[in-house]
Chains A and B, each alone.
Chain A
Amino acid sequence: MLRKIYIAAGSCLLLLYAAATARGWEFGNEPPQKIPADVRHSPGGYRSFHFWHSGYRGGK
């Protein structure tokens, strides 16, 4: 039983690796968002986006 489970899990892992490599998946990124041009061009448009989606980071 353990043998079958391991083979199944291992095969899934290989498939996941193959799919991730073939489709260029990366893990841990924020997904892309659609931001209309007028929002992007307004003052602070990107700042709000960065604040909510990637966190505001100041320096030391």
Chain B
Amino acid sequence: MAFRAGSSVVVVCPYCRSAVARTDRELRDMGKVAAIVATNSPLAVGMTGRYQGHSFQLTGRTQLKHQLGGVWDEWYAAFSDGRWGWLAEAQGRFFLTFETPLPLTPSRGGEGVGGGPSRGGEGTGGGPPSREQLVLGQGAPGLPGGLLVAELGQAAYAAAEGEIPFLLKPGTEYGYADLAGPGGEFATLDFSEARPRFYCGWEVPLAELHVVSAGSPERIQQVKAVRLGCPKCGGSVDLRAPDKSERVVCPHCGSLLDCTQGALAFLQALSRDKISPLIPLGATAEFEKVKLVVIGFVVRSCKIEGTNYHWHEYLLYDPGLGFRWLVHSDKHWTYVQPVAPGLVRDFKRNVEFHIGRHIARDVEFRGRRYKRFQDAQAVVEYVMGEFYWKVEVGETVLASDFIAPPYMLSREEYRYGYTGAKGPQRPGGEINWSLGEYVTPAEIKAKFKLANVPQPQVVGACQPFPCENIHKPWAALSAIACALILIVHLTAPPTEVYRQACVFKPAQNPAPNPASNPPQSPAPNPAQGTEGSQVMFSEPFELQAGRNIYVQCQASVDNTWVYLDGDLIQEDTDLVQTFGLPIEYYHGSDSDGAWSEGSQEQEVFLSALPAGKYSLRLEAQWERKTEKVQVWILVLQGVPRVLHDILLLVLLSVVPLMILLANWSWEKRRWAESMYGPS
């Protein structure tokens, strides 16, 4: 037995399991500690690693037991600069903290290992908070702003090995508070001594620790699934995560069994009404590029406005990834993973969350706003399989859901009381946040190779709108359209090519001479058309190619009409472009007042013609054949079409508008299911 680390305080003898402390004068026997229970941890005493440029070695380890029965490992890392790091491992997650004296010193990374996260130079001004001053879900007084109390609990040292950097007393119970910061910081207040100790750090992925084995490569104990016998019915019970599971339900007799003592211990007989999960226990599927196995199944319910709503939750497990959930509610599926509580902030920077008081209506997580959707007391109705906490039928948590489709943040607050070794019952509890992502039934069916997955009938809480969002392409195309329209209107003004006023006089036919042989048809009059119409020809004018032609005619009609047949004629090529302009204008007054109909002016747009000289032929017919008609003619080229501009913008907007309406309808249906929907 040796104290290899210079500052280690206690060493656990590997032979007799005694915890031996060294003082300035002597070695003291602190008592015996239990042997470490084999887990699937990738870490081991003796391993070395590197974190933020500083090397460390894992010198010791303790296993701590939560008052509710949960167990976690705490590893002690001796860093090359003389500091000690506390590396907590729970449910596949790792939290590295360093003891930080109060008031705190900044910063993270820049000053080497230790010192905890940046505090921006804030001092606390006073001592650390007492256990009684801490309230679950609120900020911790005496500590810098931003740290929320995520858990209040009691722990006991259950087992130990290696070298420990503090005076470990086997079996000691102590109160603690876990805190979470806005930047993902993780902190713990340890109330094992008169003055609380404060440890501050971060959750770190295992890969960031760069751990390597210092000794035998077979030190990793791969705990595989085990099969045990049910103490009630004798049936075989499979444990797929035996090192993590706290409770298991016998699939034969439905008994709730404790599996923390090695052998299974009967706890409670559950309801015989068996519910068959859609996904069987033991089924596997790939999520996050990892194969997860379904090890547990829970039915939970809540009562909203007198109606009970049920949903199913599947517990998934992988030794490297940890625990995940699949929630099946209203035939919608959500894949859920835990998130650090401190990363979730009130959208309006008010850090208090209270069920029913609506203080935090919306929350913010990783730059995304989540809207509060539902609050409920969730009750466990039925359990099957294994669980990493001491689940019980009837267990109740206060749950809140916040959505930003396809994501959902869920908050669960679990409060309990416990009697510590050092005094009366204390309130304990924990707040857990989890992030869910919507998974379609088709994906579930494919991943788990299920025969049939029921299709949802209502819009799910975090079900995304099925149509792609096209508002950005619409905005871009509309901007280009507006630019094009501006260019057309500003760069090519219309040009006048012909303007003329003419008078169409009544037709005059000479009387036939009865003395002439045989009567002849009257000679054709160039100014006369057929059936009493009159024709005029304009002087030739130039038309340019590639530019539209605008013809406007005004006529002095008053409660009558005139019809103009027009032709643009290119004599050289015999090309004729025809058009017609009916001009009629009526007006009067009756019992409702003055009225009018029609217009004395008409216009027509013609497609561009080949460049060249053109004449305008205009044949007029009018009602009052004994009266003359005066007509004003205007011909322009290159006139911008406002109708085309409007048509372009409308056509570009039709589909986005339809999608917008569909989206509005979708959201209306979604929020109809929410207690926070528009009433």
Contact partner, B481, options A2, A14, A57, A59, Cβ 8 Å:
A14
Q: With A14-B477, A46-B619 as known contacts, state yes or no: A29 contacts B606, CB within 8 Å.
A: yes
How many whole Å from A30's CB to the nearest CB in chain B?
6
**A46/B574 in contact, CB under 8 A:** no
* B561 sits at the interface (CB 8 A): yes
Count A/B pairs, Cβ under 8 Å: 125
Q: Which of A13, A17, A23 has the most CB of B within 10 A?
A: A17
Q: Which residues of A contact B607 (CB under 8 A)?
A: 24-26, 29, 31
Q: Which residues of B contact A47 (CB under 8 A)?
A: 529-530
**B548/A54 in contact, CB under 8 A:** no
Q: Which residues of A contact B546 (CB under 8 A)?
A: 22-24
Q: With A25-B607, A50-B578 as known contacts, state yes or no: A17 contacts B481, CB within 8 Å.
A: yes
Q: How far is the CA of A60 from the CA of B582 in the complex (A)?
A: 11
Q: Which residues of A contact B529 (CB under 8 A)?
A: 46-47
Q: With A24-B546, A43-B530 as known contacts, state yes or no: A14 contacts B648, CB within 8 Å.
A: yes
Contact residues of B: prevailing secondary structure: mixed
**B651/A13 in contact, CB under 8 A:** yes
**B524/A43 in contact, CB under 8 A:** yes
Q: Which residues of A contact B477 (CB under 8 A)?
A: 7, 10-11, 13-14
Chain B contacts with A in 459-479, Cβ cutoff 8 A: 467-470, 473-474, 477
**B468/A59 in contact, CB under 8 A:** no
Chain B, Cβ-Cβ closest to A53: B578
How many whole Å from A25's CB to the nearest CB in chain B?
6
Per-position 1/0 for A23-60, Cβ under 8 A of B:
11110011111111100100110110110011101111
Q: Which residues of B contact A32 (CB under 8 A)?
A: 568, 575-578, 609
**A17/B563 in contact, CB under 8 A:** no
**B623/A60 in contact, CB under 8 A:** yes
* B605 sits at the interface (CB 8 A): yes
* B622 sits at the interface (CB 8 A): yes
**A59/B621 in contact, CB under 8 A:** yes
Contact partner, B473, options A7, A18, A59, Cβ 8 Å:
A7
* B244 sits at the interface (CB 8 A): no
Q: How far is the CA of A34 from the CA of B578 in the complex (A)?
A: 11
Q: With A21-B644, A57-B582, A60-B623 as known contacts, state yes or no: A3 contacts B488, CB within 8 Å.
A: no
Q: Which residues of B contact A26 (CB under 8 A)?
A: 548, 605-607, 641
B: number of interface residues (CB 8 Å): 56
* B638 sits at the interface (CB 8 A): yes
How many whole Å from B436's CB to the nearest CB in chain A?
26
Q: Which residues of B contact A44 (CB under 8 A)?
A: 530
Chain B, Cβ-Cβ closest to A18: B484
Q: How far is the CA of A55 from the CA of B608 in the complex (A)?
A: 22
How many whole Å from A12's CB to the nearest CB in chain B?
10
Q: How far is the CA of A34 from the CA of B640 in the complex (A)?
A: 28
**A2/B605 in contact, CB under 8 A:** no
**A60/B470 in contact, CB under 8 A:** no
Q: How far is the CA of A11 from the CA of B488 in the complex (A)?
A: 17
Q: Which residues of B contact A13 (CB under 8 A)?
A: 477, 648, 651-652
How many whole Å from B653's CB to the nearest CB in chain A?
10
Q: Which residues of B contact A3 (CB under 8 A)?
A: 468-470, 473
* B571 sits at the interface (CB 8 A): yes
Q: Which residues of B contact A7 (CB under 8 A)?
A: 473, 477
Chain B contacts to A: CB under 8 angstroms: 467-470, 473-474, 477, 480-481, 484, 488, 524, 529-530, 545-549, 561, 563, 565, 567-569, 571, 573-580, 582, 584, 605-609, 617, 619, 621-623, 637-638, 640-641, 644, 648, 651-652, 655-656
> Which 4 residue pairs are nearest across A and B when measured between Cβ atoms?
A24-B608, A24-B548, A32-B577, A10-B477
Could you write out 30 A-B pairs with CB less than 8 Å apart? A3-B473, A6-B470, A9-B655, A11-B477, A13-B477, A23-B546, A24-B545, A24-B546, A24-B547, A24-B608, A26-B606, A29-B577, A29-B605, A29-B606, A29-B607, A30-B579, A32-B576, A32-B577, A32-B609, A35-B576, A37-B574, A40-B574, A46-B619, A49-B578, A54-B565, A54-B578, A54-B579, A57-B582, A59-B563, A60-B584
